[in-house]
Amino acid sequence: MGSVDKQSNFLLIERTGEIVDEQKQVVYRVGRFLGKGGFARCYEVLPNGSTTTLAAKIVSRETIHKSTARSKMVQEIRIQRELKHANVVRMLDHFTDALNVCCVLELCPNGTLNDVIRRRRALSEEEARYFIGHVAEGLKFLRDSNIIHRDIKPANLFIDSNMVLKIGDFGLAIYDSDKRSGCCGTPNYMAPEVFEKREYSFEVDVWALGCVTYCMLVGKPPFDTGILEKTSQKIRRCDYILPSHLSDSARKLITDMLHLNREERLRIHEVQSTEFFNVGYYPTSLPREFFVRTPTFDQGAYVLPPPESVVDESTGLLYRTEGYLYTGQFGNIYSMTIEGEDQLFEAMVIDKKRISQTEGLQERIVEEILALSTVNHLNIVTLMKHITDGDSIYLLYEPCISYPLSRLLKRRRRLCEEEARFYMNQIAEGLRYLHHDVAIVHGDISTDSVCLNSEMNIKICNFGLAICNFGLAVRVETSSGDVSRGLPKHIAPELHETGSTYEADMWALGCTLYELLTGGDMMGGSSLSALDISTPAEDIIARLTDTDREQRLRVDELPGTRFFRMIFCPESMPTSTLSTMPEFSTYIASQDVNEAQEVY
């Protein structure tokens, strides 16, 4: 082995025209050379008996005889062979022969994003939106799989035959639980905390995506100087220039991904909720002409921002649009003020074209206005005003609808039980009022419909599936199981037979608690006993999601459960919990847990 030159290995492959997986008895016919990087060379290959051309990444065993190089190769294979996602390059086989280590991958015949940028220099925002969306989907999958890629850059983003972008080259990837050592990555795309050898996690991939986004729109990396030390200094100062031709939403997206403080940086699950993805045109595919020129997109398909101001014809007041905040159930959410006044609103702006194109949307908007015009409670959002102009409907709320609990989970993944108890207690208060005082079934309780105001208190929102005057025989649909307005996020087993009921709200509340504590969807989750949650939490979720709705917990029974009665519940929640897990008194918490276990 030691006498065989690594270059000779590749020449032998090219001369014989094949590589063989002896264990599986598969012969791969070697085709055209695709490229090289590091110690590897890549070729097109065709397995015997197949018509599907694949790619083979081949590394000479001579080059990885050192333990560090060998362990990195093992790690790459260990990680990538388990990954199955539309936006991640799939590893289909791996094997070792006398001379080489071979990884067989799905083929991406259209090259890399780096090839496109070199050919086109810069892409349009529509094209960038398309590709960033693909990378974000892939990175979300990696984040959910507990994997940090650590080398996101245009050269590692591959384009398949259907113009789908896929994340590849996992040579530097690690699990978040793995030990880090030294600097690694490609300097132009490395986060400042990596250069400074500080603690880091998934945020380094978001930083790199910010650099890739800039590179797509500008034609070069944001910190590139051609000299490593100068590039490093610019990265550590976050010293870069945003060209004037970029839209405000593109500039903000880049700025939020390239935040020096990794805690303040966008989370990968938040990227597609930014204004950049919700204003303008978001292509679902790209034509092949994009390789050489900017494609032409249908202008009629663009989502336009609202006008800078709108007049309420009934009062003559002028409402000004201040800026995009988030995307809600009916449309984009913007901050708005009345000219000359300090009062602040959060307005959901609904395009009338979308109403005509979306079945059930008009009915949901009417129900939203009807339900919220009849309620008045501390834990239910207040609809301040609704205005209509020629193009849009504006629903103006008290500030809160731009921060649903689902957005908090995108940043935090899951909450501790003290936090969940604090929020659940307020949701229960709001539901008690709806069920007992005003006879309203909410119809869609979830982390998307429960929002936080600036004091970190709960406001129940999204009444588009609500049923008013429930049980008073005023509306036929209360007993019919009608779903013409759409389905809720959490569907109780009896929903199609009975329609939305108080019991269906309680089922959804149990699913919401499950999501807060685990970060996952209850319908796709494991059994409660397998989860890392307390016995009181396990018990209340089980009782709320009893398939027999008659046995399900009622809202007025919640305060008497062990989850609410025996375990510490904070009186308030600091805003720091928007990004980090809070610390509560270990004495109080442990004392209450012991009491709960004794009662149990």
Nearest to 416 by CA among 594, 548, 567: 567
Token output for 64: 């990885």
- Picking from 269, 246, 12, 41, the residue whose alpha carbon sits closest to that of residue 136 is 269
CA separation for the pair 590, 584 (Å, rounded):
10
CA–CA distance, 518 with 531 (Å, rounded to integer): 8
- How many Å apart are CA 25 and CA 14, to the nearest integer? 20
CA torsion, points 422, 427, 430, 432, in degrees to nearest 10? -100
Where b means 16+ CB within 10 Å and e means fewer, 417-426 reads bbbbbbbbbb
Does residue 348 contact residue 330 with C-beta atoms inside 8 Å? yes
Mapping DSSP onto H, E and C, the string for 206-265 reads HHHHHHHHHHHHHCCCCCCCCCHHHHHHHHHHCCCCCCCCCCHHHHHHHHHHCCCCCCCC
Q: E strand or H helix at 540, and its extent?
A: helix 535-544
Determine the Cα–Cα distance for residues 382 and 380; give it in Å rounded to an integer: 7
Q: Which helix (H) or strand (E) holds 598?
A: helix 586-599
Q: Are 129 and 277 in contact, with CB atoms under 8 Å apart?
A: yes
Tell me whether strands 344-351 and 392-397 are parallel, antiparallel or unpaired. antiparallel
Kindly give, in sequence order, each residue whose CB lies less than 8 Å from that of residue 575, ignoring residues fewer than 6 positions away. Answer: 456
Q: Find tokens 């599986």 and name the residue.
A: 24
**Strand-strand pairing, 309-311 and 18-21:** unpaired
Residue 226: CB atoms within 10 A of its CB come to 7
Has 57 been labeled as part of a binding site?
A: yes
Tell me how far CA of residue 536 lies from CA of 30, 539, 571, in angstroms. 60, 5, 20
Q: Return binding residues.
A: 57
**Binding residue numbers for ATP:** 57
